[in-house]
A and B are shown apart, each in its own frame.
Chain A
Amino acid sequence: MLVLHGILLDEFDNSELVRSKYGLTDPKASPVLTTFGFGTKIFTPFALIRIDTAWDKYPSGGYSKPQYIVSFGYDW
């Protein structure tokens, strides 16, 4: 547990570290990000193009505006 404490707990336990690191204000800001969304992918003569709509879920509740993302390449 000591090792775990050393590795994990600073930024997870102390939101102030996270806020100052990234310039955030949310008192629940943490190193964790949660995102979700949906998308489609289509073959073109040049590449497999992926078009995604994604949201960032904030730790204090609420969501970001949808992000519209175009990326290239196959599924992970």
Chain B
Amino acid sequence: MKAILILILFVNQLFAQSFGQNKVQYDTFDWEYVVSPNTNVYYYGDNYDLAIFTSKVAEKSLEQIGKHLRWTSNKPIKIIVYTSHNDFQQTNIVNVYMSEGVGGVTELYKNRIVIPFEGSYAQFEHVIHHELVHAAINELVYGGNAQGLISGRILLQVPLWANEGLAEFLSVDWDTNSDMVLRDLAIEERLPSIPELNYSILAYKGGQSVWQYITQKYGREKVGEIFQQMRRTQNAERGFESALGVDFEKLTDNWHDFLKREYWPDLINRENFDDFSTKITDRSKTRNFYNVSPSFSPDGNTVAYFTDQSGYMDLILYEVESEKQKKRLIRGNTTPDFEELKWLQPGISWSPDGKFISFASKSGEQDSIIIVDVQSGKYEKIPIDLDGVFTTSWHPSENRIAFMGHKDDSSDIYVIDLDSNEVKNITNDIFSEASPSWSPDGSKIYFTSDRGVNSDINAMFDVDFSQTDIYEYDFSDTQVTQITNTSANENYPLANADGDLFYTSDFNGITNIFKHNLSSNDSFPITNVITGIQQIDIDKNNNIIFSGYKERGWDLYLMSNANQVLEKEVKQTKYFAEKGISNDFEDLRFLKKNKKVATQQNYSSHIFAKNYKYKNSDNKEQKESKIDSLRFNNQFISRKYQTEFSVDYISTSATIDNLFGSRGVANLAWSDVMGDHRINIGTNLVIDLDNSDLVIQYAYLKNRTNFYTTLFQQANTFSLGYNLNYDFIGQLKDYGVGFFGQYPFSKFSRIDFGATLRSVNYTVKELDIFTFNTSTIYEENLKAIVPLTSFVFDNSTNGYTGPIDGFKQYLTFQFSPDIGSNSVPFQTIKFDMRKYFKLSRNYSFAARLMLGKSMGDKPQKFFLGGNSQMMIFSDTQTEGRDDSGFYAQRVLDYDNTSILEDVYFSEYVFPLRGARYRERVGENVAVANFEFRFPFVNYVDVSFPARIRFGNIFGHIFLDVGAAWDSSR
């Protein structure tokens, strides 16, 4: 499918206009790289230290991954490190837009890992390890490239839950967050079957839990065996069954039983949210996932928070007294200023007078602090010259905002003076800080940090960033003081006027709210929930609002008089109690199976010790050469990145052409490591080069303006009929060159420009059926230079099968000047706008209007009717009479006197389903389409001839109205 789309894309870029959002290269990166035994780590700028950190984490992770998978890396894995999410979003290695929720990605063509550093070393280490698991699986199962899958040589598709779940399990093993998600599923009795994990975000945490269960029950040695068996059988379920002795159905039962035993006892010892708080959002109605970052207005009457209930991340105001949503203040994700609202590290804050709200946003090229007027919704954008901005906190009485800023390889607390826009870094160190909040008198800032025991260390790779505590920065002496000192992770500190500090802590395995007396330093939990709490805020009356996890998502809850709540007892979770129990297991990587016992063996050079088996191998030279002292001498020498092409894939595919039917196409693609230079060749070789299709495209994507150059030739031979002596053969040929550029203004809009130079030929030959001699009896040629410019806007959101919300449009002008007797002079203008209305989750209504007009001596024709890549499997009719004659075929009729114009300079306009290709033809076109799209069947299980599950089957009802007509002469 991918290959099919690629060829169609070529044609689009040459001859037609396409929609699509943009990946904007705001910056140009000057890449270097360092090598380690098993990795090449690419970096840019002053981030050499970050590259070394990545190398060290990667080597350590690969050892652990290899031991689990019984796999050793045989070629260096390429890890490309960006120093912010904004930079990461500019990568050309992966085409899709990397939204805020994408923490890293591993692609299959070259098995490259692409990751951003976003300020937290703990998160960065997690992502490196997680993505390396994918890279290891890619190499183990698919040989480290996409060729096996594309060619069909490798049938095994590792299920999403097994892939993502193992990546989570090996990178974090188990933690309070995973424990929370699974405890919630078990207690709510919403445990999915193992195959169902593939169809939701539970592929990650659910899959992680399945691997936790498997390794606890069968031992960690089973991980490698399962992958060996999957490879052997080329089937995921059969692989699990061979290794474990149970199929997915039985494995599901056992896993569910394990989870119930693990979590159901928690029902006795812990509280529901309803027991001590009031829910103010209701996901059972809105069916979203996130209601986060609540923030009280200074008078306590309004709560601002982020929610994804519309499908976008919006900022909503909630009125406490009326218990209703007041209004949507900001819509996220659809405009350049609010591209991402930083909901992963959110921080909404009110001005002291309650008239404005601040929050951080990705605003195109860089992050900004947004100050929005609560009444009018008008906003001011303050761009911040840092790599990332998160979590704003407005001073209680002054025009200053504290926020978390990320620059290069560190994250710090910054303060901006809103009168002068002066930004000051107040922590300025290597440690990771988060969640700043002001003391009530504005003299101090409380924040979370991993500095703990590391306070004397200045090198990032020596920092123990696994645990966070709360600290206080005092403006009077500029000193940082540690407030909490526990083995738990504290977060979201907030001080009230009574001298108490409230925060969250995952003490004993569940994240609860704690109260800490700043004078006595006594602290205790004031909640004892079953699942978990994050992002708290407190009003002047000591009411706390927080985001709580329940029924697979986050709702907001209001807890009154939190300062009067007595200490709760938080008992250890089962996971927490058993944490740290040794999980050591046998390294089976170099175990030789079915090895014949030698009759004579020289043991003089053997080492009889555990873990030294590989040194006794017959081919130990090969094993030992993996640590290449020439390649890596522990010096991490920086090397300049050189553009070198390597093959991405070679494939064959079939396409359906409106005129000439289906055809086979071979595709070949090369690119460099960064994906900035791409070469694609599509070809359909027939007899000789003259009769073949060939498209060669070079794309240069490194800078903001993308350039494409294309050389093309298309040839088609078809029958024009016959008589007693001759077959008449028509031959069409088109060749030329195209230049094309795209300049994006933002993610949502761009201008396209380019030109095509082409020559088209039509030849009629007669073949003597007795002598097989051919002679040309008619020849026709046209030449054209067709410049094109277009403005494209697209902020639509895609669902499973296409756009479900938003708007897109293009306005295109193309013309062909008169360049002589064989030219095709025309001027054409086209306009296409499409609006999508999301009615509810997965239900949408789509409307479209397309207008086109062509002028000039030889205006283009719009061919209206049918659908793209269409086949009709029934009788077609004209005015109620059966009529198998497709109008498309008439283009290739012997009598058609405008065959070159029709084939090469016409525009097909779709869809008009129920009509055939070219049912109407004209120099003008107008089309309106209306479509209601809905989920039809969730999934269908087919048992025979093979067990296959078809998921997410959608339906639609449509009305198409269109007209094409000629202008008066």
Where the two chains meet, the residues of A that have a C-beta atom closer than 8 Å to any C-beta of B are 6-12, 21-26, 29-44, 46-48, 50, 52, 54-56, 58, 62, 64-76
Contacts and interface: CB of A to CB of B under 8 A. Distances in A.
A73 B655 CA distance: 11
Contact of B913 (A22, A40, A67, A75): A67
A8 B925 CA distance: 10
B865 A41 contact: no
A24 B951 CA distance: 44
A18 B872 CA distance: 25
B919 A69 contact: no
Interface in B191-208: none
Contacts of B967: 6-7, 10
Given A38-B957, A40-B953, A74-B802, A33 B872 contact: no
A6 to B, nearest CB: 5
Contact of B802 (A21, A70, A75): A75
Contacts, number: 162
Interface string B333-347: 000000000000000
Contact of B911 (A40, A48, A76): A76
Interface residues of B, number: 62
Interface stretch (B321-329, B370-378, B570-578, B876-884): B876-884
Given A33-B962, A68-B872, 13 more contacts: A11-B966, A12-B963, A31-B920, A32-B961, A33-B963, A38-B957, A40-B954, A48-B801, A50-B867, A54-B913, A54-B914, A58-B879, A67-B876
Interface stretch (B282-290, B442-450, B534-542, B929-937): B929-937
A76 B834 contact: yes
Q: Would you list the 5 A-B pairs with minimal beta carbon distance, nearest first? A: A75-B802, A35-B914, A54-B914, A31-B965, A54-B913
Given A35-B913, A36-B914, A58 B880 contact: yes
A44 B960 CA distance: 26
Nearest to B836: A75
Contacts of B656: 72
Interface string B231-247: 00000000000000000
Interface in B920-969: 920-922, 924, 929, 931, 933, 936, 950-968
Interface of B: 1, 4, 656, 800-803, 834, 846, 848, 853, 864-865, 867-880, 882, 910-915, 919-922, 924, 929, 931, 933, 936, 950-968
A40 B936 CA distance: 8
Contacts of B951: 43
Contacts of B968: 6-7, 9-10
Contacts of A32: 961-963
Contacts of A66: 874
B960 A36 contact: yes
A39 B967 CA distance: 35
A43 B960 CA distance: 24
A34 B873 CA distance: 20
Nearest to A7: B967
B875 A65 contact: yes
A76 B910 contact: yes
Contacts of A11: 922, 965-966
Contacts of A33: 864-865, 912, 915, 919-920, 960-963
A70 B869 CA distance: 8
Contact of B874 (A22, A35, A68): A68
Given A33-B915, A35-B915, A73 B954 contact: no
Nearest to B870: A71
A70 B936 contact: no
Contacts of A68: 872-874
A75 B933 contact: yes
Contacts of B914: 35-37, 54-56, 64, 67
B871 A71 contact: yes
Nearest to A75: B802
B955 A38 contact: yes
Contact of A69 (B803, B867, B957): B867
Nearest to B887: A22
Contacts of B853: 7
Contact of A34 (B834, B921, B924, B960): B960
A69 B913 CA distance: 8
Contacts of B919: 33
Nearest to B918: A22
7 contacts: A33-B961, A41-B954, A43-B951, A65-B882, A67-B876, A71-B870, A75-B801
A24 B962 CA distance: 18
A44 B1 CA distance: 10
A24 B883 CA distance: 12
Contact of A35 (B878, B912, B965): B912
